[in-house]
Homo-oligomer: A and B are copies of this chain.
Amino acid sequence: MDSDGEVTKQLLLEKAVEQFAECGYHSTKISDIVNKAKVTQPTFYLYFESKEAIFLEITEFFQLQLINLTSASLLEENLETHSLKLQICLGLTRIFTFFEENPLLTKIGFVEADSAKELKENMVKQITENLKEEQRMGYFSDAYPMDLVAESLVGSIERLTLNEILTKKSKPVDLAEVLVEIYFTGIQKK
């Protein structure tokens, strides 16, 4: 519906995203949000139960989209028959692109939120599984503990997202390529 109410709710969500992204959870005041949205405080409580509730709604929306993205990724991966390297590079590019297209949401849902911890843990788990599978299939050296590799990779993604993507200093595909190159072949000269 595009009823007034829905419009107002979306407006509040939008302004809340801006404020949470800029100031973080604690420093964002309900009054900031409603001032930006040019409505009054009770109006806020018409649509959200509490400050925590709106924050949750935002982070869950972000995380859901992110999960959809990675699920979709996985499906396609199976269908196409490119090289592993290319596939992983593509997957990373998709994630970085998603972050690039949703910078404020990413700041909140991937950095500020408490639930970001859990989200990243799940990323680590899934990547670990994938890497192990590929290790079993002979793509990767048996010497590596893939849980640590995955952890390291997620750390890299996290930092590059924050400092290269959200700042628009680098392009998703470039970061993905560099990362894949590092993790596949290392930087040492042969």
Contact = CB atoms under 8 A, between A and B. Distances in A.
Interface of A: 26-27, 120-121, 124, 131, 138-141, 143-145, 148-149, 151-160, 163-164, 170, 174-175, 178-179, 181-190
Number of this chain's copies in the assembly equals: 4
A185 B184 CA distance: 8
Q: Could you say which of A164, A174, A186 has the most chain B C-beta atoms within 10 Å of its C-beta?
A: A186
Given A185-B186, A185-B188, A186-B186, A152 B140 contact: no
A187 B144 contact: yes
**Dominant SS at the A interface?**
helix
Given A152-B159, A152-B178, 14 more contacts: A138-B189, A139-B188, A140-B187, A141-B190, A144-B187, A148-B170, A149-B187, A151-B156, A152-B156, A152-B160, A152-B179, A181-B186, A184-B187, A184-B188
A159 B140 CA distance: 22
Nearest to A143: B181
A139 B156 CA distance: 22
B155 A178 contact: no
A7 B78 CA distance: 63
Contacts of A144: 178, 181-182, 187
Contacts of A179: 152
Contacts of A174: 148
Contacts of A145: 178
A124 B178 CA distance: 16
A148 to B, nearest CB: 5
Q: Could you say which of A156, A158, A175 has the most chain B C-beta atoms within 10 Å of its C-beta?
A: A156
